[in-house]
Structure 1
Amino acid sequence: MSRVLALALLAAVVPFPGSVAAQAIPERPEDLRFAPSVFEPPPVSGLRFELGNGLPVYVVPDRGLPLVDVVVALPVGDRNEAPGEDGLASMTAAMARRGGAGESGPDELDDEIDALGARIQASSSWGRTVLVLDSGSEALDRGLELLASILFEPRFDEARVEQAKENLRVSLLAEADDPRAVLEREWLRLVHGPASPRSRRLTQASIAAFDRDALARFHRRHWSSRGAVIAASGDVDAEALVARLDELFGGWEPRPPEAAEDPKGLPQGLPVESAEPAAPAAVSPGWWTIDRPGTQAALAFGHRGALFDSWDDPGRWALMLLAEILDGPGAVSRLRSRLQLEEGLTYRVLTHFSLDIVTTATDSGRNRGMGEFRVFLETAPESTVEAASVVLEEVRRLLRDEVPENEIATARQSLLARLPLLFDRAEAIAGRYAEDELLGRPHEYWAVYRERLLAVTAADIREAARRFLEPEESVLLVIGGRKATSRDRGFDELRDALGDPRAASG
């Protein structure tokens, strides 16, 4: 190809400088403007199936590669643990996979999964337990059989249980020297109270109580098909897969015979009071410190999270935008702008808002929980007080002033721009709609997502701030040496809002 022809072809696809008017770059990120983003979530019709026992299954075929992903999710987790059972939900999930299943001992099970070129994992968190099968399509049938065996017939091999307990003991000892772990433990206690399920932590005593009988008992009580859901994606024929799943999982009982509930229908181990909406204030508000000298200090600021009766609560949509403005991952983040870009007080700030839904119907006890609003950052000890005062100032500003329209528009567009990423592949689509089922979130939530965000006004955001932010009823927990509470800039503001710093038990 001649040089002239090559340049001509290049000119056809790449404008030369000056051929397109340069777009002015604004001085601040909140002044950025984006083209309207209009995304329609993929329709759920044709993706949802039911097994003979009513268990919902979402299947999204993708023949691009000979791989299949199958997830079984149960609405069971830490919240189902009774006092003294701390960590039992996670231990049960881990040992269901690692402790053998059906006729296979743990080593045999590991070897067969490896021979298939597959992977099966099981884990548990606050409100859910998931079992995941990743397999080649040719090995899928046997992989599903092994998955069902782990789900229904875990052996909880005693030697594997003892090995896992020893590993937990070592990890727990290491946590005592980890400032972040200490901060997390004490934060939960101060915000939620020592009796809350959120505050219960793994201890040497709870580890000692783990044995095969305890794991098997938790499995019998809580691992049922009630509220469970299956998501599958990859190189599959949907109808053929559902037929096979029905053979393996269609007889799964919705409630084990041993399961017990209290009179209000709450799952065993979940306190009745956690079902009632609560004010966001922390249980033990104030300025708390943990004396751990070091080259860095860390702090957490916030209180209990908002609770909503509906996924479509107008305050929830407003709070989503408020969270994005305060410290979202998009172009607008007041905390990141102040703490990192303008004042250089930290290299990382993380903010979390819970947007939990509370339901009172007997069949929806799985959705109850108590979340939180938390700002976490690390900084130099001598900068801790100033950094904390900036956080307090920015939270108060949301209560005091309406957010400018251009800032709202940028935050809204950031949220809308991330929406397609939630449905960007077959695995994500199946998982998202299955999660809807697990959480009781209507599929229509995604269809109205853009419309609801567009309807939020500056007045709505300020009302959400007044409804859900309680800076004077918050916990400020600082871990660091004496410099972390020195009388630097911002000390008086923090003391006026939260009182004098007090020693926490961490």
Structure 2
Amino acid sequence: MIRAAFAALLALMALPAHATQIDQVTSPGGIEAWLVQDDSIPFVALDIQFKGGASMDADGKRGAINLMTGLLEEGAGQRDATAFARAVEDLGARLSFDASDDTLSIGFQALSENRDQAADLLAQALREPRFDDTAVERVRSQVQAIIRSEATDPNSIAAKEMAAQAWGDHPYATSINGTAESVAALTRQDLVQAKNRVLARDRVVVGAAGDITPEELGPLLDRILGGLPEKATAPLPDKVEPQLTGGVSVIDWDSPQTVVSFAGPGLAIDDPDYFAAYVANHILGGGGFSSRLMTEVREKRGLTYGVGTALAPGLFGDTWRGGMAGSNATTAQAIDLIRAEYARMAEGGVTEAELTDAKTYLTGEYPLRFDGNSRIASIMAGMQLMGFAPDYIDTRNDRVEAVTADDVARVAARMLDPDALRFVLVGRPEGIAE
């Protein structure tokens, strides 16, 4: 599973290299937000993140927060689902709600002239969701359909098995969707309790961008969030280390191909070696066709259409993961090559040419993915979730440029142990011993 914090990190790695003015705003009610003001278009975007997300599910109620999140746009106050959707549409606004392992996230976009009315609708959705029976059953059916689909998808099966092995009894170990049985058993009261476990002012971070001043943003924050409880009704999960051990797990699946998921320990974003690992990952498997794994496994031998790796930091735990798919007959060879490339980097580091190419790419693509107020708002919220200072956006490329070959060698020797890699295979691979 790719967690929200990981997604936020990807956005953070795409900020522009020029100075950006960030205003740190505190509302009259004490709600904090970071704002990038831009008056060029009469439009404002907010990204609202509640820490904990679906990891806040109560024991025995897995899937409750995910289901509850899907119902926040299905009517509020006196408006049923149809009337609520029409009211949002009439304002030309957009509200979106999503849950992940790390956060419950809300997107808010509105024209400047309608932002107060749109804010009132969002506030009502957060304070007074209806959880009507018809809406609950409709969204429950959608979630059940996703659960059934995942049960027949080799990639989802591999991801779930890897999560179960990595995280033990932590919420990360299970799908935010829950199981068919846990979702079927959820009641309206469970949804109300789930809301109170995660939607509270002590859990929120807010990013804002667009046509709004700091003086205007404060009251808008209180308008949207001021009616929520001051504190959530449950504590955040503890941060944990992954419990992965080296080796191979095979899940029998009748297919001519095997899906391969592999993972080892990762690094937290505040780890001093994080940026060295970020560069190392690009060279190892994160750089597409320029990466070592793609060269060895695909280009030279044609064992897969694609293989890659990624750092996956989360609010509560971190891994360094990868994946591919290939024929049953050649999966064992591909795994040997992956282990060999981990060992080669751990023992020999990288060349100066590889380092220069990686840093050129990572710094050069930095501003190209930065566009729109909604993206900026998401970045502002992500920075706060990750604990970055406001000047991060002006120092990010300097941190990449500061990485040396010795730094990469150090972090590779520390983290890239081929014997510590756990592989989960879904298929009928040949020549594999579990």
Candidates 141, 144, 160, aligned match of 2:135: 160
Matched, 1:390 2:352: no
Candidates 438, 443, 463, aligned match of 2:385: 438
Candidates 394, 412, 429, aligned match of 1:447: 394
Summarize deviations over 1:30-69 as a string: whole Å, max 9, x none: xxxxxxxx96443334x32111222122333444444432
Q: Which residue is equivalent to 2:125?
A: 150
Residues 255 and 41 of structure 1: CA distance in aligned 2, closer, same or farther (over 3 Å)? farther
Q: Which residue is equivalent to 1:199?
A: 173
Q: Which residue is equivalent to 1:288?
A: 249
The offset of 1:398, in angstroms, is 0.9
Instruction: List alignment gaps of at least 5 residues for structure 1.
Output: 1-37, 262-266, 357-366, 487-499
Give the SS at the match of 1:344.
coil
Q: Which residue is equivalent to 2:50?
A: 74
Q: Which residue is equivalent to 1:306?
A: 267
The offset of 1:338, in angstroms, is 1.7
Candidates 343, 349, 358, aligned match of 2:307: 349
Give the SS at the match of 1:220.
helix
Q: Which residue is equivalent to 2:433?
A: 501
Instruction: List alignment gaps of at least 5 residues for structure 2.
Output: 1-14
Larger Rg: 1
**Aligned partners of 2:349, 2:402: CA distance in 1, in Å?**
16
The offset of 1:190, in angstroms, is 2.4
Instruction: In structure 2, give the amino acid aligned to 1:199.
Output: A
Is the 1:169–1:207 Cα contact (8 Å) retained in structure 2?
Answer: yes
TM-align CA RMSD: 2.5
Is the 2:162–2:424 Cα contact (8 Å) retained in structure 1?
Answer: yes
Is the 2:37–2:213 Cα contact (8 Å) retained in structure 1?
Answer: yes
**Aligned partners of 1:39, 1:168: CA distance in 2, in Å?**
38
Summarize deviations over 1:288-326 as a string: whole Å, max 9, x none: 212212232211122232346xx2x33112111111111
Candidates 287, 296, 302, aligned match of 1:338: 296
Instruction: In structure 2, give the amino acid aligned to 1:334.
Output: R
**Aligned partners of 2:149, 2:312: CA distance in 1, in Å?**
29
Residues 460 and 58 of structure 1: CA distance in aligned 2, closer, same or farther (over 3 Å)? closer
Q: Which residue is equivalent to 2:430?
A: 485
Instruction: In structure 2, give the amino acid aligned to 1:282.
Output: L
Compute the TM-score of the two structures, normalised by the length of structure 1.
0.76
The offset of 1:377, in angstroms, is 0.5
Instruction: In structure 2, give the amino acid aligned to 1:391.
Output: I
The offset of 1:231, in angstroms, is 2.6
Summarize deviations over 1:394-448 as a string: whole Å, max 9, x none: 1111111121111111111221113224644443333322322233222233333
Q: Which residue is equivalent to 1:33?
A: none
Q: Which residue is equivalent to 2:10?
A: none
Matched, 1:102 2:77: yes
**Aligned partners of 2:221, 2:251: CA distance in 1, in Å?**
52
**Aligned partners of 2:31, 2:343: CA distance in 1, in Å?**
47
Q: Which residue is equivalent to 2:11?
A: none
Summarize deviations over 1:273-302 as a string: whole Å, max 9, x none: x435x4x6615x311212212232211122
Q: Which residue is equivalent to 1:189?
A: 164
Give the SS at the match of 2:48.
strand
Q: Which residue is equivalent to 1:467?
A: 414
Is the 1:76–1:223 Cα contact (8 Å) retained in structure 2?
Answer: no
Report how many aligned residue pairs link the two structures: 418
Higher relative contact order (CA 8 A, sep 6+): 2
Instruction: In structure 2, give the amino acid aligned to 1:43.
Output: T
**Aligned partners of 1:213, 1:102: CA distance in 2, in Å?**
17
